[in-house]
Amino acid sequence: MMKYTFPETFWWGSATSGPQTEGVFEGDGKGDSIWDYWYKKEPERFFNGVGPEKASYVYKTYKEDIQLMKETGHNSYRTSIQWSRLIPEGTGEVNPEAVKFYNSYIDELIANGIEPFINLYHFDMPMALQEKGGWENRETVEAYVAYAEKCFELFGDRVKKWFTHNEPIVPVEGGYLYQFHYPLEVNMKKAVQVAYHEALASALAIQKYREMGQDGEIGIIVNLTPSYPRDENNPEDVKAARIADLFFNRSFLDPAIKGEYPQELVELLREIDHLPDVQPGDKDIIKENTVDLLGVNYYQPRRIKAKESTEKLAEGPMPDDYFDNYDMPGKKMNPYRGWEIYEKGIYDLLINLRDNYSNIPCFISENGMGVEGEERYINEEGVIEDDYRIDFIKGHLKYVHQALEEGVNVKGYHMWTCMDNWSWTNAYKNRYGFISVDLENEGKRTIKKSGRWFKEMTAANGFED
């Protein structure tokens, strides 16, 4: 038996986002985001035709839900403000119903001893802005900074942990490379511009936060997918893995923490004439406004080999022109989501932050396992016995613990997610929560075995195994 003990001050909790939980209700004044719009247009693209207008009804149930957070051992919780709820047209008028809702949600969390971590952007561009190009358009950067300022002004007296984006690479991949987010384009030139504008918007929001004299911390949440070469002794594999790392990890990690882009990435984009449009002064803004705190979402590694296939994913350039994904034999899989489970990846990425990113204060802001058909594990008391999720958490926490012991500045662990939520086009296919949501039964909540275990584990600040 080994004992894994974490610091008394460790942040324990879970994460979600506004669009995946709140739902849309008559009279709530919410404007459409790209998700509302896309769902109305093509509902068949969403698993079982379930859209964002239902989600998990949290707009109505947050007070009861917060009680369940307490019962599952949360001392902190991350959600996002929906830009299209607060400012329905993306710019201009603020929706008073949204202000009431977020004020009450935040107050209720604090009153129950749960610190709110608030994210400003979780894949949910207001449709009115998408119509004008979304992140492709520099005006969206200005609109975003005005929105961020409004959020700081309205809620900054109580919210002390802010995040400018969740996984900013995902709207780039989904919307402009691999077609799983609206606007479903395949265009690397636009993808690069979108990524650049997101990073610039983040730096400008951080600048604004500090200019306003706010006294909390502000950061960004990135999904890190450590890139492992098929063969570490094969220089071509190693180079391919390094390029994948540049595209998918360092494209946001470096500007956010070091205030500059990796030179190798800049050169690579220059060679294919894909550098983004920038304006004088941008470089300094990015340089001077780096994050206080980094959230890291970790689900899976990336296995890479040197390019072997000649198949092109698109007519124009694509990141995949530089590497192939490597289907490593014997890897452990989550078959429902199709993602590899590799616990040591969480340690490797934390050590990388310690050694190459000035040991920035960080926390695991998402880690989780989506499973389909969890009802088959329901016992006589109606509780889902999700032992696989408990094993998944322990497996990762052991490595977080090791990283802590080796000096990594890691301050917490948030699970994806608190209650089963709406997973974009997968809707409610794979369930991730500590708490189940019965969609057939008005969203009835039941704590799963993992939720009870998490409560005990966090009360003890650790576990034995």
Q: Give me the catalytic one of 22, 136, 167, 374.
A: 167
Q: Which strand (E) or helix (H) includes residue 14?
A: strand 11-15
Q: 3-state class of 356 per DSSP?
A: helix
Output the smallest distance, CB 215 to ligand BG6, in A: 27
- Does residue 139 carry a catalytic annotation? no
Output the smallest distance, CB 418 to ligand BG6, in A: 12
d(CA 25, CA 16): 19
Phi and psi torsions of 44, nearest 5°: -70, -15
- Residue 14 vs 297, nearer CB to ligand BG6: 297
Output the smallest distance, CB 15 to ligand BG6, in A: 7
Query: Two tokens at 432?
Result: 């991730």
Q: 3-state class of 228 per DSSP?
A: strand
Mark the segment that binds ligand BG6 (CB under 6 A) among 43-51, 254-262, 355-363, 418-426.
418-426
Widest pairwise Cα distance in the chain? 65
Phi and psi torsions of 346, nearest 5°: -70, -35
Candidates 72, 225, 430, 446; binder of ligand BG6 (CB under 6 A) is 430
Mark the segment that binds ligand BG6 (CB under 6 A) among 404-412, 420-428, 438-446, 448-456.
420-428
The reply on whether position 342 binds ligand BG6 by CB under 6 A is no
- Does residue 366 carry a catalytic annotation? yes
d(CA 95, CA 449): 39
Mark the segment that binds ligand BG6 (CB under 6 A) among 93-101, 185-193, 273-281, 421-429.
421-429
Candidates 297, 300, 367, 446; binder of ligand BG6 (CB under 6 A) is 297
Nearest to 23 by CA among 7, 6, 35, 11: 35
- Residue 340 vs 366, nearer CB to ligand BG6: 366
- Residue 337 vs 445, nearer CB to ligand BG6: 337
Please report the beta strands in 204-292, taking only residues with DSSP state E, as ranges in sequence order: 217-223, 227-229
Output the smallest distance, CB 170 to ligand BG6, in A: 6
- Residue 289 vs 365, nearer CB to ligand BG6: 365
d(CA 114, CA 66): 8
Residue 446, preceding peptide bond in cis (omega within 30° of 0): no
Binding mask 135-174 for ligand BG6 (x = CB under 6 A): -------------------------------xx-------
Query: Helix %, strand %, coil % for the chain, to 5?
Result: 45, 15, 40
d(CA 182, CA 368): 25
Nearest to 363 by CA among 13, 119, 55, 5: 13
d(CA 452, CA 385): 10
Burial class (CB in 10 A: 0-12, 13-18, 19+), 352: middle
Query: Two tokens at 61?
Result: 């149930």
Number of residues that bind ligand BG6 (CB under 6 A): 14
Task: Considering only residues 3 through 32, tell me which ones interact with ligand BG6, judged by CB under 6 A.
Answer: 17, 20
Mark the segment that binds ligand BG6 (CB under 6 A) among 87-95, 188-196, 251-259, 416-424.
416-424
Residue 48 · residue 56 · CB < 8 Å: no
Q: Which residue has the tokens 């511009």?
A: 193
Task: Considering only residues 190 through 249, tell me which ones interact with ligand BG6, judged by CB under 6 A.
Answer: 223
Amino acid at 73: G
- Residue 74 vs 230, nearer CB to ligand BG6: 74
Output the smallest distance, CB 88 to ligand BG6, in A: 22
d(CA 73, CA 461): 10
Phi and psi torsions of 201, nearest 5°: -60, -40
Output the smallest distance, CB 313 to ligand BG6, in A: 20
Candidates 424, 428, 434, 454; binder of ligand BG6 (CB under 6 A) is 424
Query: Two tokens at 16?
Result: 């979600």
Output the smallest distance, CB 428 to ligand BG6, in A: 10
Binding mask 346-385 for ligand BG6 (x = CB under 6 A): --------------------x---x---------------
Q: Give me the catalytic one of 115, 173, 340, 366.
A: 366
Residues that bind ligand BG6 (CB under 6 A): 17, 20, 166-167, 223, 297, 337, 366, 370, 416, 423-424, 426, 430
Q: Which residues are catalytic?
A: 167, 366
